[in-house]
Chains A and B, each alone.
Chain A
Amino acid sequence: MAALFGYDDDREAASAAKVRALEALLIKKGVLGSDSIDAVLSHFETVAGPFNGARIVARAWLDSEYKRRLLQDTPKAIAELNFPGMDGAEGEHMKAVANSESVHNLVICTLCSCYPWPVLGLPPYWYKDPVFRARGVREPRAVLREFGVQISADKEVKVWDSSAQIRWFVIPERPAHSEHLTEAQLAALVTPEAMMGVALVPAPTAA
């Protein structure tokens, strides 16, 4: 599939010009304001993004009681942290699932690209890729190996296909040798990929 992403400059320049023309016409015709799209993009830089999910995961690692509440009633536990916009678009109904010694979770959307915006922001390309969406439900372990994640045969793999209202995310396993880290240091280790289940959180490197 890599070749599919190797577009020539012409294809990109054509799309860039077309979207700019469309935006210009929609502004002129009163469908958009010239500040509308920047308001959207700014939301995903400051309010909704993986920085929220990472802090939620770090809190769950440090506080097992919080983790229990997060798994039991995800929106309510997230609300405890007072982040803005947490029941916003594409996060109206979210659920967390936890990796453990015996279970590995993988989140997928085989029909489109449903993704928990408030806690993770916008989906990366791998998540939207038809190949991931096709293979993730049939051979999750093989797909995970391509992401560099080895799941032993005796571990259960749970694949969550988002097809109705719930937007799923994963609480990865806390890495070894992280006992001395603060909540912020722990959060810095957590990637969007780990919170969708295609990556593990590696042990921190010695300072």
Chain B
Amino acid sequence: MKLQHYLGGLEGLGPVNLEKRVFVAEWEKRIFGIHTVMMAESTHLDKALPKYPIAHVPTTFKETWTWASLRTGAEGMQPFEYFKYRYYEKWLMGISQFFVDRGYVAAEELATLTEHYRANPDAPLPAQPNLALKEQVVRYLNHGDSGLRAPITPVRFAVGDTVYVADPEAADHTRLPGFLRNKKGTVTEVYPGAYEYFVSTGPDGLVGPQHVYCVSFEASDIWGADKSEPHTVIYADLFDVYLKPAH
């Protein structure tokens, strides 16, 4: 098991952080912005809904970059490292390493320029606007990247069905919350259409378009009757491959 997949239910962590700010340092806005522009110019967007004319957007970025890329990176971190860093610190580490690994940026030039900005925090950025890219960023933010597809397999479960959650191999990335594995739930909604996740998660099972179900779980069925709060129900949206029939 990978700890990042099993955060739900972990005990002994102390009080929650009540910080209401979205960004706790100005620099965090910039890495959030870089990630979001990468998503807006990702090469896969010609197949996404809506079908963006991404090949015509003037950018040297020729990669698929989605939420799955960022999540896979975070889930691939050594778990104790994962907890050492703040949310956007992890983004900065993962995204800068991606650009180095893919050859867009040399590690040395990044280190050298970082030293430069360290010594001169107010030194300007290059002025090189890109109107067509900006328009694509705005289009992406306003129209998104839906995974809705035509279903290719029959619906396996109906509202009211008892289901068990599967226990697939631990892969690099999953959309199955670990605390639900092998637990018993009840289908409360069958979403219309099918959904294709951004990437295949391989042995984890997210391959191609799948039906998605909302499944309810009694807290006592997950944590044990004497270890859970009363009158508590947990709902999760689960891809078809993560569910098994009750018998």
Contact of B24 among A88, A113, A125, A146 (CB under 8 A): A125
Q: Is B143 close to A, CB under 8 A?
A: yes
* A17 cross-chain contacts in B, Cβ below 8 A: 114-115, 117-118, 121
B134 touches A111 (CB 8 A): no
Count chain A residues whose beta carbon lies closer than 8 angstroms to a beta carbon of B: 91
Q: Is B39 close to A, CB under 8 A?
A: yes
* B32 cross-chain contacts in A, Cβ below 8 A: 40, 122
Bound complex: CA A47 to CA B141 (Å): 9
B37 touches A18 (CB 8 A): no
* Inter-chain residue pair count (beta carbon < 8 A): 321
Contact with A along B191-225 (1 / 0, CB 8 A): 10001000000000000000010100001001100
A23 touches B34 (CB 8 A): yes
Bound complex: CA A89 to CA B144 (Å): 4
* A162 cross-chain contacts in B, Cβ below 8 A: 237
* A158 cross-chain contacts in B, Cβ below 8 A: 232-235
B19 touches A5 (CB 8 A): yes
| A10: min CB distance to chain B, Å | 10
Closest to A162 in B: B237
Q: Is B142 close to A, CB under 8 A?
A: yes
A30 touches B60 (CB 8 A): yes
| B76: min CB distance to chain A, Å | 13
Q: Is B77 close to A, CB under 8 A?
A: no
| A106: min CB distance to chain B, Å | 10
Closest to B95 in A: A22
Contact of B143 among A5, A31, A87, A123 (CB under 8 A): A87
B234 touches A159 (CB 8 A): yes
A161 touches B229 (CB 8 A): no
Bound complex: CA A79 to CA B174 (Å): 32
A164 touches B175 (CB 8 A): yes
Contact status of A143 and B134, CB under 8 A, knowing A5-B86, A14-B118, A40-B141: no
Q: Is A101 close to B, CB under 8 A?
A: no
Contact of A131 among B17, B24, B175 (CB under 8 A): B17
Bound complex: CA A125 to CA B228 (Å): 26
16 A-B contact pairs sorted by A residue (CB < 8 Å): A1-B13, A1-B17, A16-B117, A22-B99, A24-B117, A30-B61, A31-B59, A88-B142, A111-B4, A111-B177, A112-B74, A135-B10, A156-B233, A158-B232, A161-B237, A164-B237
Q: Which 5 A-B pairs have the closest CB atoms?
A: A33-B130, A37-B33, A110-B8, A164-B237, A21-B113
Apart from the given pairs A15-B92, A34-B126, 8 other A-B contacts in the complex at a CB distance below 8 Å = A20-B117, A20-B121, A23-B30, A43-B142, A111-B71, A131-B15, A134-B10, A141-B229
Which B residues fall within an 8 A CB radius of A? 4-5, 7-11, 13-22, 24-27, 29-34, 36-41, 49, 58-61, 67, 71, 74, 82-83, 86-87, 89, 92, 95-96, 99, 104-105, 109-110, 113-118, 121, 125-131, 133-134, 137-138, 140-148, 174-177, 179, 191, 195, 212, 214, 219, 222-223, 228-239
